[in-house]
């Protein structure tokens, strides 16, 4: 992919925002746990974020079509910065176990804006990148995102040794300011204003696009089952898996989580290196990726050896990414660019809503039937995805002029 100024600014702005998101969550969780000494209260942080992003996914279509996409993205990042500034000043003034609930209000508002920004970021990539370079661009975006996920969660906890949680919030504020600056440098994209549409029509536009697009309907069904299957990979369940299934030391929890993200990064790098081949054989990678993650997930649930579990975790991440990147490219090329944002908000609504319910359900199933059982359930769900991908492979094939 040739040097692309707008894509570069988008990646830098998004990366600074992503680093800041992880660091401020680390700081907030530390603050709340030190106040309450309650794991439940700390766990309510990711729940608040997920719930807020779900609400945002539902409401964002009201803004898309009325406002410029770039301005929405920049505005949401500036809004996040202002809310974080408010949180920083609140922490400076002092707080205790009686008024810490304000923190949840702040992170809920920040997540609300994040839920608006995420589909817009995904939508802007095809505006700034030529179609033949989309696989490579998506691979780069995924590599950067997953690398940040691996590194920032680790170094975030290390930074708490040097800085107080309050100081960490101010560091994130600076990152958010620079993110806003880089995103403001993006070129405006062509945009159709739709002020005459009724609110209900705006809210359901993405759903209507999905309904009349066979490929998108198939992808939505696949992602629904994949999201439920993927909910077994939340940190709480992996910790139980390490203790009960592997009967290993707690540090294997970190190894297995890191191995999964390493697999994702390797998969992204392979998509970048062989982007033309991956793009040409989209259907093969989607089918193979779904099938291999199914097999490896079942074996992961059955094994009792930590080293094997770690290797399988790498392979699950690897093949999952080899499937997801060409699938992401398919979404971006299946509908006109001006409809992408509403499609992504609908996909985000399904993803966050399904994941939140599935995470809770998998936790309950783990308590009642054992942690191994939910990985078998996950494998069965991924088998359904594999069958769907195989059955609909003609929709995923890349058409060429010679065909």
**φ, ψ at 67 (rounded to 5°):** -120, 155
- Under a CB-based contact definition with an 8 Å cutoff, are residues 237 and 297 in contact? no
pLDDT in tens for each of the 403 residues of the chain? 555 888 889 989 989 998 888 888 878 877 776 777 665 566 577 778 878 888 887 777 777 767 778 888 899 899 999 999 988 888 777 666 566 678 888 888 998 888 888 778 877 888 888 877 888 888 888 788 878 877 776 677 677 778 888 888 899 999 999 999 999 998 887 655 555 556 666 667 777 888 888 888 888 889 899 989 988 887 667 777 888 888 888 678 778 877 888 898 898 888 888 888 888 888 889 899 999 999 999 999 999 999 999 999 999 999 998 998 888 888 887 777 777 777 877 887 788 778 878 877 887 888 788 889 999 999 999 999 999 989 888 877 766 433 4
Residue 330: both structure tokens together: 């398919």
Instruction: Give me the residue label for tokens 């945009």.
Output: 191
**Can you name the residues that pair with 67 across neighbouring β-strands?**
64
Domain architecture of the chain: domains with CATH: 1-183 (1.20.1250.20), 201-397 (1.20.1250.20)
The whole model's pTM is what? 0.72
**Which run of H or of E encompasses 196?**
none
């Amino acid at each position: 992919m040739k040097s692309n100024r707008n894509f570069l600014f988008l990646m830098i702005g998004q990366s600074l925002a992503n680093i800041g998101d992880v660091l401020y969550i680390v700081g907030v969780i530390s603050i709340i746990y030190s106040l309450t000494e309650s794991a439940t209260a700390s766990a309510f942080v990711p729940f608040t974020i997920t719930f807020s992003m779900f609400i945002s996914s539902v409401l964002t279509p009201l803004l898309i079509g009325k406002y410029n996409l770039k301005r929405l993205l920049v505005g949401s990042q500036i809004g996040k910065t202002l809310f974080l500034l408010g949180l920083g000043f609140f922490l400076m003034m002092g707080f205790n176990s009686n008024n810490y609930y304000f923190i949840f209000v702040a992170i809920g508002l920040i997540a609300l804006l994040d839920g608006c920004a995420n589909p817009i970021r995904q939508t802007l990539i095809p505006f700034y990148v030529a179609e033949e370079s989309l696989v490579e661009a998506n691979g780069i975006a995924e590599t950067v995102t997953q690398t940040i996920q691996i590194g920032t969660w680790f170094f975030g906890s290390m930074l708490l040794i040097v800085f107080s949680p309050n100081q960490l919030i101010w560091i994130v504020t600076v990152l958010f300011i620079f993110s806003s600056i880089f995103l403001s440098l993006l070129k405006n994209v062509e945009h159709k204003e739709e002020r005459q549409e009724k609110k209900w029509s705006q809210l359901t536009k993405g759903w209507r696009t999905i309904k009349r697009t066979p490929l998108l309907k198939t992808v939505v069904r696949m992602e629904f089952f994949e999201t439920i299957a993927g909910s077994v990979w939340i940190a709480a369940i992996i910790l139980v898996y390490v203790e009960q299934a592997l009967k290993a030391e707690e540090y294997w929890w970190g190894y297995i989580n890191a191995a999964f993200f390493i697999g994702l990064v390797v998969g992204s790098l392979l998509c970048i290196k062989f982007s033309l081949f991956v793009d040409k054989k989209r259907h093969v990678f989607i089918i193979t990726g779904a099938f291999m993650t199914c097999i490896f997930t079942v074996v992961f649930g059955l094994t009792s050896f930590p080293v094997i579990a770690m290797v399988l975790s790498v392979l699950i991440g690897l093949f999952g990414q080899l499937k997801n990147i060409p699938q992401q490219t398919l979404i971006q090329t299946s509908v006109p660019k001006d409809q992408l944002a509403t499609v992504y908000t609908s996909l985000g609504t399904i993803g966050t809503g399904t994941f939140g319910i599935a995470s809770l359900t998998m936790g309950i199933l783990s308590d009642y039937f054992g942690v191994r059982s939910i990985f078998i359930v996950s494998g069965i769900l991924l088998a359904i995805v594999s069958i769907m991908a195989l059955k609909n492979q003609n929709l995923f094939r890349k058409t060429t002029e010679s065909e």
